[in-house]
Structure 1
Amino acid sequence: MSTPWFGRRNRSPEDLAAAESARDGAVAAFLDLDTRQSYITDALRPLQSSDPMTAASAILAAWKKVEQKCFDANSQYLTISQQYALEDALGQPTAVELPVAAQAFANTHRTLAQAATAINDFYTDNRRALDQARSAASEIPKLAEAGVAQALSIRARLTGVHSDVAGFASVRGAAAELETGVADLDRALVAGSLEGIQAATAAITAAGEQIDAAAAAARTAGDRAATAISSVRTRISAVTTRTERLPGVRSILLREFSAPNSADLAGNVEVAARELAAGEHAWEEASQALRSGDAEKSLSLLADSREHLHAASQACDDVTNRLETLKAVKADPSGPERQTRFRIRDAQRLVVDRGLTSQWGSVLDAQSARVDRALHALTGVHPDYWAYVRELDAVTEFVKGVVERIREQARHS
């Protein structure tokens, strides 16, 4: 007990009053700073998830400096309050030197006041953005409540009016998107992110619309699948006919033109047959799925069947179109040449009109030389007409690019 009584003997009423006044002033400054800091922190919370490249990021960066000053001031207060406590835990006077304690509390008071001034300056500099952010933050509870209510309503539809189709894959997928949106909303609420809440609410709305659309589609899936089964069967018959004729077309191609004219199509007969078989298999599985009552699976398999049939048809088209193209070029080799030279001359006129002969004249002359070489290459008993066509097409595309560049330069000049 000697220490408290020793402390008491050294305490004058004046020193005690001064120390208590300094301490109370520091306490008030500490509480005031906490209030100001909380106000700004609440205002800034909606900005935490903002894009790093926006103005909000600059505000947050500026606040970090002020926040550090507040942290330092608060730390100083807590340290001084413990180091210069005027009473112990039992309410008995301590042995601290009262004048020293008074000075320490006064210094801390000034530090806290300086931090409060920094907050005031920060608020003044960013008042509009902070007030807007606080206003937006006040909308968070209402937005969140609306999002939750919407999610509950959608869930009710799933177990109510949509219960007859809730097992369809498309409906289940949309329902999963709904739950993802709800989880995102929960996280955004915890973070106090207005943008996150808005995004999650929008996702919930979209999921609800997707569920309704999927449910409506599911109810007509059976009829649509039945119609598609018949349609794809007709398509299979047509592609089968073309595929069966393809070897004959390929034989004509090889008989009338040298091998280089169709070397890239050597495997098309096999490709067409393979894709046709895959299309037929998918169609058979789709038919089985429909008979089993899984209309959605049937529609998905029918989509696969159509893709395979399209690939088979494309393989047939490539061979048939190649034969037609080669026959046309063989009958009139100068036809494609005239068209290509016309494009070159048209580009040359544009170059002259724009005064760009020095830049593009020799380039276009070189294209004319390419046409000359391609035409000269059509020699022998079985010329490579396809190489001729590809070379002229390449020249045409090159000239087209030159014209586009000239016009683009004119637009920016």
Structure 2
Amino acid sequence: MAASDARGAGGVRRRDAPRRGETRSDGGPRRAPSGLRLALALPLLVGALLPHAFAGGGTRRWFGGRGESQRAEAQAAKDAAAAAFYELDTAQRGLRISIEAITAVDSSPDARRAVEGFDALGRRIDEVSHTYIGAVDAHDLDRDELDAAAAGRARAELTRAKEELDRVKGELDRFEEGLGPLLGRAETQLARLAPAVERARQALRGASGALDGVRESGLRADDLAARLAALGPELTRLNEGAGRHGVPETLQRADRVLRDAETVRAEAERLPERAAEIDRRLVSLRTRTEALTTRTEHVEPVLSELRRRFTAPCWQDLQHVPEQATATLRQAEERLAEAGKARAEQRWPDATSLLSTVRALLDSTDEAVSAAGDRLRRLDAVATDPKAEIDRTRFAVRDAQRLAMDGRNTPDPRHARPLDEAVARLDRAVDALEGRHPDYWHFLTELEGVRASAAHVVGLIREERGAAH
């Protein structure tokens, strides 16, 4: 009988189809007894169930070559995504340090834009990181029941997550490259910070040491001590650091403390010399005051000579010199006494200021006292020989005229007019000497004015020619 005849539709054996090994009564094969059939079927059943028995009890299901390859590819994709995630996280941490360095130093619009750009990148990093973590959580690659299709989906999602992580990492790298100038300036200032603070501290220690040395020599230096004490709060702020006060402000504070402390130290070291100088000035100004007092006593005889020999306009402006000199010298003596007291009390700024006042008073007195003697000498000279003064003035005017005509046929009116007026003024002054009682002081002042006019014209000409060349 054919194999197709032994089965009905659907491949099911018909009930009347003979089994293998049986012979029917009509001469075909007979069916084996039921016990024998069971004995023969049992080994086949056990063999069929054995793989399923070992699959239970925590043992991984066996898929064969294709399934294990998919699982390995998914695991490799997971490892690659994890490495990309770690690289992105490390780069973000490093860039955050750079941004913090920039913001600690720089408040410019460029720095603010850098912070905004970093924040935007941070949001993008959060998105791709969330996608990556979601893909990892969604697929347990160690699960026994993981089939090939699930492993393929896991590999695809993890690969996409890695690509997104790599893409954002590239954006982060490009952003960091653009921060180069800002970061360079920030690093320069940060590199200055620690040395600047240390220099300020050393300057304070140096000022304190110099002040102690001055005090040991017997000088109090109270004003310097007060200025040094005022720097204490600044030192406290420096010690609090740039994290609290900012890098630019801390650098400025360090420079200011350094400068002020160095000034205190220099003044403390110079204080003994300053005290000695004040002592010398006190002695010198006392001596000068005494000398001017003696000279003032001689002014009245000079005025008497002027009154006797010359007209009133020659000496009227000097009438009050003796009284003014006496009053000024009295003020100088009072200020000298105050300066001596300030020196004894070691009020160095006050002593210095008072001595400067004394010097100014003595200078004005000296000038007034000298004016009387100088007036008498000049009037004596011009009364004896006015020609020397006239010749001196005419030479100055003619020299200016020659310069005005140099290289020209006619002089520039701007130069010729004041020179012509100077000549006329000189002639009038000379003519005024013909009287019985000439005003020699007016003559001298007029000739001084003529010479000044000529010198002014010479200056203009030379300035114009210098500009032309």
**Is 2:184 aligned against 1:130?**
yes
Structure 2 CA distance for aligned equivalents of residues 69 and 286 of structure 1? 62
> Could you tell me how far 1:151 is from its partner in structure 2?
1.0
Following TM superposition, by how much is the alpha carbon of 1:140 offset from its aligned partner in structure 2, in angstroms?
2.0
Q: Could you tell me which residue of structure 2 aligns to residue 394 of structure 1?
A: 449
Residue 348 of structure 1 corresponds to 401
**TM-fit CA distance, 1:356:** 9.1
SS state at 1:165 partner:
coil
Shift of 1:316: 0.8
Aligned partners of 1:162 and 1:215 also within 8 Å: no
Letter in 1 for 2:458: V
| Aligned with 1:69 (options 104, 113, 116) | 113
Taking a change above 3 Å as real, the CA distance of residues 244 and 182 of structure 1, as seen in their structure-2 partners, is same
Deviation at 1:288, TM superposition (A): 6.3
The structure 2 residue matched to 1:277, chosen from 330, 339, 363, is 330
After superposition, give the CA deviation of every residue in 1:245-270 in whole Å (9 maximum; x if it has no partner). 22232233334333333444343222
Instruction: Give CA-to-partner distance per residue, 1:214-255, whole Å, 9 cap, x none.
Output: 13444x47xx73x66655444333222221222232233334
| 1:259 corresponding residue in structure 2 | 312
Q: Deviations over 1:199-225 (max 9, x none)?
A: 54244223212111113444x47xx73
Paired residues of 1:246 and 1:316 also in contact (CA < 8 A): yes
CA gap 1:327/1:293 in 2 versus in 1, 3 angstroms: same
- Which residue, 177, 201, 211 being the options, matches 2:258? 201
The aligned amino acid for 1:387 is H
Give the structure 2 partner of residue 328 of structure 1. Answer: 381
User: Superposition pairs for residues 211-222 of structure 1, below 5 Å?
Assistant: 211-218=268-275, 220=276
Retained in 2: the 8 A contact 1:185–1:201?
Answer: no
Corresponding residue number in structure 2 for 1:372? 427
Contact kept in structure 2, 1:36 and 1:116, CA below 8 Å = no
2: CA distance, partners of 1:344 / 1:184: 67
1:406 CA displacement: 3.2
Q: For CA contacts below 8 A with separation 6 or more, give which structure has more relative contact order.
A: 1
Question: Aligned pair in 2 of structure 1 residues 203, 395: CA closer, same or farther (>3 Å)?
Answer: farther
Q: How does 1:82-161 map to 2 (within 5 A)?
A: 120-121=177-178, 123=180, 126=181, 130-131=184-185, 134-160=187-213
Q: Are the counterparts in 1 of residues 405 and 411 from structure 2 also a CA contact under 8 Å?
A: no
In the other structure, the counterpart of 1:5 is: none
* Native 8 Å contact 2:92 2:172 kept in 1: no
Query: Structure 2 counterpart of 1:135, which letter?
Result: T
Partner Cα separation in structure 2 for residue 338 and residue 26 of structure 1? 98
CA pair 259-306 structure 1, distance change in 2 beyond 3 A: same
Residues in 1 aligned to 2:437 and 2:213: alpha-carbon distance in whole angstroms:
73
What are the superposed Cα offsets for residues 337-396 of structure 1, whole Å, 9 maximum, x if unpaired? 321221222223333335495435414333323322333444644444333333332332
- Cα displacement (A) at 1:118: 6.8
**Post-superposition offset of 1:275:** 0.9
> Paired residue for 1:315, among 368, 374, 388?
368
Contact in 1 for aligned 2:219/2:346 (Cα 8 Å): no
Equivalent residue, structure 2, for 1:41: 103
Asked which structure has the greater CA Rg, the reply is: 2
How far the C-alpha of 1:271 sits from its partner, in A, is 1.3
Q: For 2:247, give the aligned amino acid.
A: G
Distance in 2 (alpha carbons) for counterparts of 1:77 and 1:122: 14
Alpha-carbon distance, 1:274 to partner = 0.4
Q: Would the alpha carbon gap of residues 149 and 249 (structure 1) be closer, same or farther in structure 2, given more than 3 Å must change?
A: same
Residue 215 of structure 2 aligns with which residue?
162
Structure 1 residue runs without a partner (length 5+) = 1-20, 49-59, 87-105
Instruction: Decide whether the 8 Å contact of 2:339 with 2:355 is kept in 1.
Output: yes
Determine the structure 1 residue equivalent to 2:64. Answer: none
Contact 2:214/2:271, CA 8 A, preserved across alignment? no
User: Aligned partners of 1:74 and 1:136: how far apart in 2?
Assistant: 22
More helix by share: 1
SS of the residue 1:270 aligns to: helix
Matched with 1:210 is 267
Instruction: Answer yes or no: is the 8 Å Cα contact 1:154–1:208 preserved in 2.
Output: yes
* 8 Å Cα contact 1:249-1:319 kept in structure 2: yes
Query: Cα 1:265–1:357, aligned 2, differ >3 Å: closer, same or farther?
Result: farther
Asked whether the 8 Å contact 1:250–1:319 carries over to 2, the reply is yes
Q: Does 1:240 align with 2:320?
A: no
Q: How many residues align?
A: 349
Q: Paired residue for 1:100? A: none
Q: Is the contact made by 1:351 and 1:361 (CA closer than 8 Å) also made in structure 2? A: yes
Report the Cα distance in structure 2 between the residues aligned to 1:409 and 1:30, rounded to whole angstroms.
70
AA aligned to 1:365 is: D
Separation of aligned partners in 1, 2:102 and 2:459: 56
- The answer for the alignment partner of 2:159 in structure 1 is none
Q: How many Å apart are 1:283 and its aligned residue? A: 4.0
Query: Unpaired runs of 5+ in structure 2?
Result: 1-81, 131-163
In the alignment, the residues of structure 1 paired with residue 236 and residue 408 of structure 2 have an alpha-carbon distance, to the nearest angstrom, of: 66
**Distance change >3 Å, CA 251–CA 336, structure 1 → 2:** same
Q: Distance in 1 between matches of 2:170 and 2:313?
A: 89
Say whether residues 1:172 and 2:222 are aligned partners.
yes
Map 1:174-193; keep pairs closer than 5 Å: 174-179=224-229, 190=242, 191-193=246-248
User: Relative to structure 1, is the Cα distance of residues 384 and 122 closer, same or farther in structure 2, using a 3 angstrom cutoff?
Assistant: farther
State the Cα distance separating 1:321 from its structure 2 match: 1.4
TM-score, with normalisation over the residues of structure 1? 0.64
